[in-house]
Amino acid sequence: MPKTLHINGQSLTIPDVVAVAQHDAPVTLAKEAHQRVVESHAWVQSIVRKGKPVYGINTGFGIFSETQISDDQTLNLNRNLIISHALGTGPDLPPEVVRAAMLIRANTLAAGYSGARPAILENLIAMLNAGLTPVIPSQGSLGSSGDLAPLAHLALVLSTDEAETEEESGWALYEGRRLRGKAAMQAAGIPRIILGPKEALAITNGATFSAALAGLSINLAERLLNSAEVAVSMSLEAMLGASAAFDERLHEARRQEGQQVVAQRIRALTAGSTLLDAEGRVQDVYSLRCAPQVQGPARETLEFVKDIITKEINAATDNPLLFGPQDSISGGNFHGQPVGMAMDFLKIALSEVAAISERRSYLLADGKMNAGLPPMLVGDPASAGVHSGMMLAQYTAASLVLENQGLANPDSVRSLPTSAGKEDHNANAMTAARHAWELAHNCAHVLAIELHSAARALDLRLQRRPDANMGAGTRLAHQRIRATAPFKSEDSLWGPEIEAVRELLLNGELDFPAF
């Protein structure tokens, strides 16, 4: 069983998010965080008793921020915020994304600046531990004022009021069934909560689903970049490539750290290969020769983005924030610009990794450029035409790369005003994060096509050079691919084989970080 995660609002990591979202690691609230939450809730109660207008506690929201709300309408204020804001649309988010968002929101509240009762956090944690996942539409958030619509859908399941209809409890997945939120919570034995002052905002205010998508995309991107180095190493050997382009001195002279890391890993993965330099070529095409110069910047971008998102998943992001019984500060920590810009950077990086991978798949299949391999990597050159080989695999890769080029266009530079102009600059962070998630999965498929093609090219090459040796890392990668998808001489249903290689990649079985 995965190790229990103790959240405290300060030290959540992306691997923690992955452990809970994808591997169902149990969660608890750290004792020191519980005490901070109790204290901040007491501050809210003090503000309510004094009656001074404080945004989000006893006022309306957005354009109605100057409208003070009487004590007897506070419960209605909070419930109405949830009901009116649950306006998401589009396909449902994957359960792992929703679980990641629930964890991040609980961690945000655990920082002790939000004023919510401990019961709110305890419910979120109980839902995670029970495997109860609200159904959340993927579209409808601008990522400013937080991911309002997605978080409101989450709050429908978490909270209740006396006049609630069945429809107003939302939907949830529990024990393999899609149920009304009320029924799912009853089945799991988790009490739903009537929200008090500030608590609706505490749940919904923050770019939490954007951050969840970002964290999971970063985790996937690490595997993609490691696997991309395996892919280029296999393609380089299959193409009898020139090793000089990866000489340590060459990359030290450029002074770019990511480039140096990629070149070093290619050297390690191909160590012991007798296929490299076998043709005596001085230099190769860019997609082989310049892989460190293209994939290296992607590594540096990933490290930059990872730092931003690690800070974000430990950030207090709602509004206002409470720093004492009379110290409530209204600001804009909910604004998702840091997440949106970071995801735009990641999209560009991964789009280029996929683009150069597709060029290598094309190269392997081109009978005029693949150093004597059969055209389209057909098993027998005499059967070319009867068999199409890997022709359509490259088509698919090209299609995904073209789609990525659209997805890589920056979303965070686009803004439209909302709330009658009160919210006049929005981040579009959720769209950026959602596009990064889609693009990363497209990149995984493009890399799987290259890995599958390179494995086939190596098989065909070794048939012609039976005494040749692959490198230490490329041999291991080839073995893992062939254990899942054995070599077939004639045309086959390649799609399921490539999907199987993609699953190996997604599961981390082809990233070889130790090399």
Q: Does 153 participate in catalysis according to the annotation? A: no
Catalytic residue among 286, 304, 323, 395: 286
Tell me, what's the pLDDT at 97? 98
Tell me, what's the pLDDT at 325? 86
Q: Does 55 participate in catalysis according to the annotation? A: yes
CATH number of the domain bearing residue 373: 1.20.200.10
Residues 235 and 117 in one domain: no
Residues 307 and 193 in one domain: no
Residues 219 and 363 in one domain: yes
Q: Does 334 participate in catalysis according to the annotation? A: yes
Residue spans of the chain under pLDDT 50: none
Tell me, what's the pLDDT at 75? 80
Residues 171 and 232 in one domain: no
Domain count of the fold of the chain:
2
Catalytic residue among 6, 34, 180, 289: 289
Residues 339 and 472 in one domain: yes
Q: Does 85 participate in catalysis according to the annotation? A: yes
d(CA 102, CA 78): 19
Tell me, what's the pLDDT at 57? 81
- How would you class 464 by CB atoms within 10 Å of its CB: exposed for 0-12, middle for 13-18, buried for 19 or more? exposed
The answer as to whether 321 is a domain residue is no
Catalytic residue among 199, 423, 450, 497: 423
Residues 153 and 237 in one domain: no
Catalytic residue among 8, 107, 205, 333: 205
Domain boundary residue among 186, 206, 226? 206
Tell me, what's the pLDDT at 111? 97
Residues 183 and 238 in one domain: no
Domain boundary residue among 175, 206, 237? 206
Residues 293 and 441 in one domain: yes
Catalytic residue among 113, 174, 334, 362: 334
Residues 92 and 66 in one domain: yes
The answer as to whether 328 is a domain residue is no
Give the max Cα distance, the chain: 89
Residues 137 and 235 in one domain: no
258-283 tens-digit pLDDT: 999 999 999 999 999 999 999 999 99
d(CA 391, CA 336): 42
Catalytic residue among 8, 36, 55, 168: 55
C-alpha distances in Å from residue 375, one per residue of 95, 424, 511: 43, 57, 29
Catalytic residue among 41, 85, 153, 251: 85
Q: Cβ contacts of residue 478 below 8 Å, gap of 6+?
A: 234, 455, 458, 470
Q: How high does pLDDT run on average in the chain?
A: 95
The answer as to whether 72 is a domain residue is yes
Range of the domain at 437: 213-316+333-414+425-506
Residues 179 and 233 in one domain: no
Write down the H helix ranges in 366-423. 391-407
Domain boundary residue among 177, 206, 235? 206
- How would you class 208 by CB atoms within 10 Å of its CB: exposed for 0-12, middle for 13-18, buried for 19 or more? buried
Tell me, what's the pLDDT at 107? 98
pTM value > 0.85: yes
